Amino acid sequence: MLPGRSARQEINHAITSAIRIFRKGEDRSGEVLRSVSMNLRSIFSLFSSDLAIDLGTANTLVFARGRGIVVSEPSIVAINKVTHKVEAVGNKAKEMLGRTPGNIVAIRPMKDGVIADFEVTEKMLQYFIQQAHGGKQWVSPRIVIGIPSEITQVERRAVEDSAYRAKASEVYLVEEAMAAAIGAGLPITEPHGNMIVDIGGGTTDIAVISLSGIVYSKSVRVAGNEMDESIIQYIKRKYNLLIGERTAEQIKMEIGSAAPLEEPKNMEIKGRNLIEGIPKTIVVTDEEVREALADSVATIVNAVRVALERTPPELSADIVDRGIVLTGGGSLLKKLDMRLMQETGLPVSMAEDPLSSVVLGAGMMLSDFDLLRRVRWDGATLPS
Ligand code: ADP
Ligand code: MG
């Protein structure tokens, strides 16, 4: 469909071009059919809201063409162990995390950047697609899905198939790193090196992109979740206090950091004392949390260093000038940008909306199919 045309204009156009061919009085029924069907198809693509999906390990976001981000929820599914039915998805399922009765389990199906549970991932994907459509059943959208870089062929097929089962008319898989770079506004089609570091829940993905292609990519399984886990372990070791995943995440977000803060911060936390077995409250400082996070942060910094070492010289010269761009929720850890700047000596900047870069980038491809064709993941092995 041409930009700026309304549905009514499209219908008129389809009819007038068909009439024009008839008027000429020739037998050109094939042409008429083609003309009408082409125009009808573009009309349907107007009604079927095309979707872009960021299937993240921590959060799933859906972007609908013309409407923007319509879903942003945790990638969590609560399943009834007895009936195998889905009890809740997204925010509702996250609230259940750590609080489920015996017969319900809350699952993160995309753990570690790969699909840990195919069936549950499919149910989750379908739920979010339906939610994005707001109950409309008859639409058959084109769907662009950002997938983790380390995904296997089998997992790739699983994502593709479940999108088709959710009534997609066409499915395009794109590398998350590429989508993130586009969403963060990097000029990826130019012959310059751009480094993007996406710190998510399960993985930190580092990529160097030039001329719409990934020149180097590396994924380490250390990111937000691992940070939460280190906080749990630290508090357990030091205070004999058991805290849950959600509390650990709150501590990380509120007082966690990768380098000393200007103002010290404390936080009161509640957990279960392991020795007395009763609930207790303690106060932790930002310094303690920094210590707890030290290994995770070091792993991320190190992965960036390795990526810089492996980047071809011409492109690393570009990165020296343009710097590194951070994205993903994990990059919101306080002082992480400063720490990376200190350790690499390069300029480091944050994407404007780190939690949405991937879905915004994939969303841009919905209206720029030329770009999509260029960056679409065809399953070829990447250079590393
Ligand atoms: P994914 O792409 O894997 O779904 P996201 O990019 O959505 O991951 O990032 C989710 C991670 O970001 C979670 O581990 C979450 O705890 C972390 N996160 C979100 N906000 C903050 C913050 N302010 N400080 C530190 N970590 C954060
Ligand atoms: Mg992500």
Average pLDDT over residues 72-101: 88
Average pLDDT of the residues in 36-52:
62
When pLDDT is averaged across residues 159-175 and rounded to a whole number, the result is 89
Please indicate whether residue 146, judged by its CB atom, sits closer than 6 Å to ligand 1: no
The finding on whether 249 has its CB within 6 A of some atom of ligand 1 is yes
Beta-bridge partner residues of 280? 271
- What is the value of pTM for the model shown? 0.85
Confidence of residue 27 (pLDDT cuts 50, 70, 90): low
Q: Which pLDDT tens digit goes with each residue over 108-136? A: 888 766 677 888 888 899 899 989 988 66
pLDDT at 301 over 90: yes
Cα-based distances in Å from 363 to 52, 85, 145, 241: 5, 31, 9, 44
pLDDT tens per residue, range 203-227: 999 999 999 899 999 999 999 999 9
Task: Give the residue, out of 53, 54, 59, 112, with the most ligand 1 atoms within 8 A of its beta carbon, to mutate for a pocket test.
Answer: 59
- The finding on whether 356 has its CB within 6 A of some atom of ligand 1 is no
The mean per-residue pLDDT over the stretch 234-248 comes to 96
pLDDT-derived band at 26 (thresholds 50, 70, 90) equals: low
Confidence label for 155 from pLDDT (cuts 50, 70 and 90):
confident
Look at residue 37 and tell me whether its pLDDT is greater than 60. Answer: no
Q: Is the pLDDT of residue 350 over 80?
A: yes
**What's the CA gap between 354 and 88, in Å, rounded?**
26
User: How far, in Å, from the CA of 223 to the mean position of ligand 1?
Assistant: 8
Q: Is the shortest distance between the CB of 109 and ligand 1 below 6 Å?
A: no
